[in-house]
């Protein structure tokens, strides 16, 4: 039988093993098994496994038998065998009932797997699975210094996996034929990489740590390159479907916008603006991510791009994550455009266009009118929430879609957007959450990126402190006092809470806590807007004009409160994270975040951006019950200590599981990523991206590299399979 990468495991392994692998480890083919790499390697006598294992862990350990003691049980028939094993750093007891295996001799080495239990304060395994390493069968294995420990399951142990892989590798000596190397020779040579068969041999059966390292280097390359090829192919496919060029036309809306701007553009805004203007002028649809700190002035960059498209006869849509924000954008843009944004109205300028706000909560008649404006092309600039896409709104000629605050938008939404126009529109996504380079190159790898690094000058900046309520009870009083001082000086404050409160329904979940550590059961429920507002109103902030803002208010009400806050009619806004994105009230200078530990790093950074909008210095107080010395406390202190969004984004990445980052934002890529680390492999990912782009830019693309093409296809198949499972 000839074994190939796509051969089902059921044809090469025992039925039970194959079934176990499929069901518990999601390994179905030879390819899958060869790419099931050891989690780590054990070394005789040298590691700290036993000292580190925790009760409740399911682990595989390599250890030596120290003593064996069999005695009759007191209250029952049969015998009890206690075996003490050690690994140089720790000891553990194994317990067997009626054990009959003679091989468990003192000094024997073995692998033991099971769930760690505890008996009278001592860690133990009851009836572990075990695999003794001495004896004829393992003589050769045992000469090797490193024993691979695989991700295993209760049905398939690490050593069964090891043995199965050994079977594949040993199969008729044809291993090198079985795994043809997909990497082009020149790439391999350029980067000094092992061949694939050599790397697989070394990763599964290494002799030295060096073997493992070199194999790892090579295997990471496969992952990086295949991923980048997939993304590059996606970029190319998008580019091949022509859009419509929207060239700049002088004397139109864009010039009017520029004339109306009450400030000079920063250099960054100008540069990115040029970049966008040039891209809009091509019939290849733009597909760009614009990142920039909160307050870096992304909106005006987007508005100028939208104006260019309107000048060229198309429509532009701006999508915001919340209705509050959509309304705010509409207000700001209308104000800036003046009569030019009211074409067709009595006081409008007929050479301008119409700015239309289209949100789910519009009254039926208003909605009908807005839809007609959009469908018949009177509205050049359309502003709304995601609902704009879902509600099947028709555009006369959609030329540009701007998505504000990208981190709430996944790939599927991006694809839905592209399907919106008659021909694919240009797409600009904006995010204030700085995205580490590696994430930009992977999760958002189908987008080109631009970055605004500079904040408009004249900003006060924000200083932040952690207020540990339990450790320093006096500080919280001081915090409220600071709020009163700012209000007395004519400024305004936000108090942000993780939850709305009052009703304990399912919609009382935290509104959004991206990247926050999971709640553990024994904590009190997160503080709620309604409760905190009540307390403050009757206590620390009595006498101030205090209102609440949260997602459960009707859109009109939300809008009215934001407006009142912006107009200075409210001193203190107690709110959920609805204030997180984009809300722009330059007079607000203090933000108190309650239960700050319940928010993710990037989210806190976003939040405090709300009080860095004006010329006055902002203050952000992160109130928490956690100890400063705890991991969470340190995380908060890190947020307080730096205002570098990129550094914080990196910290955020460290505190999340990488798989979540990749998996959540781009379905499927996960299946191709085993070794690659977004934190550690930045250079490798960048290099692979260059190589991938270069490969696809050649005339024949992957035609001369069937191996690579097959790997890319295999990734796509896995992706699809994952999709099917989800559906």
298 binds ligand ADP (CB under 6 A): yes
In 3D space, the residue among 237, 183, 286, 31 whose CA is nearest the CA of residue 692 turns out to be 183
Q: Which is nearer to Mg ion, 299 or 353 (CB)?
A: 299
Contact between 588 and 511 under an 8 Å Cβ cutoff? The reply is no
Burial class (CB in 10 A: 0-12, 13-18, 19+), 446: buried
296 binds ligand ADP (CB under 6 A): yes
Which range, of 291-299, 349-357, 384-392, 466-474, touches ligand ADP by CB under 6 A?
A: 291-299
Separation CA 547–CA 574 (nearest Å): 6
For the CB of residue 374, give the shortest distance to ligand ADP in the complex, in Å: 24
The residue within the footprint of ligand ADP, chosen from 291, 299, 438, 606 (CB under 6 A), is 299
Binding site partner of 295, from Mg ion, ligand ADP, none, Cβ cut-off 5-8 A by kind: ligand ADP
Q: How many CA atoms lie within 13 A of 322 on its CB side?
A: 24
Q: Which is nearer to ligand ADP, 111 or 325 (CB)?
A: 325
Q: Which is nearer to ligand ADP, 273 or 285 (CB)?
A: 273
Binding site partner of 624, from ligand ADP, Mg ion, none, Cβ cut-off 5-8 A by kind: none
Residue 679: left (phi > 0), alpha (psi -120 to 50), or beta?
A: alpha
Residue nearest to ligand ADP (CB): 297
Q: Which is nearer to Mg ion, 266 or 666 (CB)?
A: 266
Q: Angle 505-508-509 (CA atoms, 0-180°, nearest 5)? A: 120
266 binds ligand ADP (CB under 6 A): yes
For the CB of residue 547, give the shortest distance to ligand ADP in the complex, in Å: 22
433 binds ligand ADP (CB under 6 A): no
Place of tokens 């005695």: 71
The residue within the footprint of Mg ion, chosen from 114, 501, 582, 645 (CB under 5 A), is 582
Which range, of 204-212, 264-272, 366-374, 674-682, touches ligand ADP by CB under 6 A?
A: 264-272
Residue 307: both structure tokens together: 């104006």
269 binds ligand ADP (CB under 6 A): yes
434 binds Mg ion (CB under 5 A): no
Which range, of 249-257, 287-295, 340-348, 548-556, touches ligand ADP by CB under 6 A?
A: 287-295
Q: Which is nearer to ligand ADP, 40 or 453 (CB)?
A: 453
**First-to-final CA distance of the chain:** 36
Residue 301: both structure tokens together: 């960059």
For 223-234, b/e burial (b = at least 16 CB within 10 A) is bbbbbbbbbbbb
- Strands 40-43 and 146-149, how do they pair? antiparallel
> Which helix (DSSP H) or strand (DSSP E) does residue 271 occupy?
helix 267-280
Which range, of 134-142, 293-301, 516-524, 681-689, touches ligand ADP by CB under 6 A?
A: 293-301
Q: In what order do the strands lie in the sheet with 448-452?
A: 354-358, 379-385, 315-320, 398-404, 426-431, 287-292, 448-452
For ligand ADP, how many residues bind (rule: CB under 6 A)?
A: 18
Q: What are the two backbone dihedrals, phi and then psi, of residue 565, each rounded to the nearest 5 degrees? A: -65, -45
Which range, of 118-126, 133-141, 295-303, 682-690, touches ligand ADP by CB under 6 A?
A: 295-303
In the chain, count of helices (H) and strands (E)? 27, 22
Binding site partner of 429, from Mg ion, ligand ADP, none, Cβ cut-off 5-8 A by kind: none
Q: Which is nearer to ligand ADP, 260 or 470 (CB)?
A: 260
Place of tokens 């094993």: 85
The residue within the footprint of ligand ADP, chosen from 86, 151, 338, 456 (CB under 6 A), is 456
Chain residues in the site for ligand ADP (CB under 6 A) = 263-266, 269, 292, 294-300, 432, 456, 582, 584, 613
């Amino acid at each position: 039988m000839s074994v190939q990468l796509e051969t089902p495991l059921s044809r090469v392994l025992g039925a039970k093993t194959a079934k176990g692998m499929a069901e518990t480890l999601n390994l179905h083919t030879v390819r899958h098994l060869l790419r099931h790499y050891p989690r780590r390697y054990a070394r005789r006598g040298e590691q700290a496994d036993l000292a580190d294992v925790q009760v409740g862990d399911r682990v595989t350990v390599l250890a030596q038998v120290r003593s064996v003691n069999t005695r009759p049980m007191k209250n029952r028939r049969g015998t009890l065998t206690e075996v003490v094993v050690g690994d140089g750093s720790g000891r553990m007891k194994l317990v067997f009932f009626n054990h009959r295996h003679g091989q468990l001799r003192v000094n024997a080495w073995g692998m033991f797997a099971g769930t760690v239990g505890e008996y009278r304060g001592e860690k133990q395994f009851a009836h572990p699975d075990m695999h003794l390493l001495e004896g004829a069968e393992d003589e050769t294995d045992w000469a090797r210094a490193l024993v691979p420990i695989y991700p295993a399951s209760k049905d398939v142990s690490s050593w069964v996996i090891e043995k199965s892989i050994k079977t594949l590798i040993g199969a008729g000596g044809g291993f090198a034929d079985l795994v043809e190397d997909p990497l082009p020779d020149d790439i391999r040579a350029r980067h000094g990489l092992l061949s694939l068969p050599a790397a697989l041999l070394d990763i599964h059966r290494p002799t030295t740590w060096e073997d493992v390292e070199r194999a790892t280097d090579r295997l990471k390359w496969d992952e990086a390159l295949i991923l980048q090829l997939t993304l590059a192919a996606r970029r190319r496919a998008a580019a091949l479907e022509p859009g419509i060029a929207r060239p700049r036309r002088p004397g139109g809306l864009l010039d009017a916008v520029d004339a109306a701007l009450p400030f000079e553009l920063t250099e960054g805004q100008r540069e990115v603006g040029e970049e966008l203007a040039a891209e809009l002028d091509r019939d290849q649809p733009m597909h760009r991510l614009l990142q920039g700190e909160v307050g870096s002035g992304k909106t005006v960059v987007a508005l100028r791009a939208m104006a260019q498209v309107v000048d060229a006869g198309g429509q532009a849509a701006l999508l915001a994550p919340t209705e509050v924000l959509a309304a705010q954008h509409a207000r700001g843009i209308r104000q800036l455009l003046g009569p030019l944004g009211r074409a067709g109205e009595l006081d409008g300028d007929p050479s301008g266009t119409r700015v239309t706000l289209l949100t789910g909560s519009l009254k039926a008649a208003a909605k009908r009118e807005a839809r007609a404006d959009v469908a018949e092309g009177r509205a050049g600039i359309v502003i709304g929430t995601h609902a704009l896409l879902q509600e099947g709104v028709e555009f006369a000629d959609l030329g540009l879609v701007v998505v504000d605050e990208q981190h709430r938008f996944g790939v599927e939404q991006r694809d839905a957007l592209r399907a919106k126009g008659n021909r694919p529109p240009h797409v600009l996504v904006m995010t204030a959450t700085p995205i580490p380079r590696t994430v930009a190159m992977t999760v958002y790898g189908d987008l080109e990126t631009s970055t605004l690094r500079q904040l408009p000058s004249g900003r006060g900046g924000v200083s932040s402190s952690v207020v540990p309520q339990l450790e320093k009870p006096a500080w919280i009083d001081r915090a409220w006092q600071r709020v009163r001082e700012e209000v007395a000086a004519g400024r305004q404050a936000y108090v942000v809470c993780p939850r709305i409160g009052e009703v304990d329904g399912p919609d009382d979940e935290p509104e959004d806590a991206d990247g926050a550590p999971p709640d553990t059961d024994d904590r009190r429920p997160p503080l709620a807007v309604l409760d905190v507002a009540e307390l403050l109103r009757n206590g620390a902030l009595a006498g101030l004009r205090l209102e609440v803002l949260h997602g459960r208010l009707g859109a009109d009400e939300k809008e009215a409160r934001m407006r009142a806050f912006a107009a200075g009619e409210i001193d203190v806004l107690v709110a959920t994270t609805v204030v997180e994105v984009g809300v722009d009230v330059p007079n607000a200078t203090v933000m108190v975040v309650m239960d700050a530990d319940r928010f993710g790093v990037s989210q806190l950074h976003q939040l405090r951006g709300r009080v860095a909008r004006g010329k006055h210095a902002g203050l952000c107080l992160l109130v928490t019950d956690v100890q400063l010395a705890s991991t969470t406390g340190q995380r908060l202190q890190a947020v307080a200590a730096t205002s570098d969004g990129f550094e914080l984004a990196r910290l955020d990445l460290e505190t999340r599981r990488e798989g979540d980052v990749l998996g959540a934002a781009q379905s499927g890529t996960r299946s191709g990523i085993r070794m690659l680390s977004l934190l550690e492999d930045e250079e490798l990912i960048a290099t692979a991206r260059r190589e991938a782009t270069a490969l696809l830019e050649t005339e024949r693309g992957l035609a001369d590299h069937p191996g690579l093409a097959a790997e890319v296809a295999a990734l796509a198949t896995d992706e699809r399979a994952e999709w099917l499972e989800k559906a």
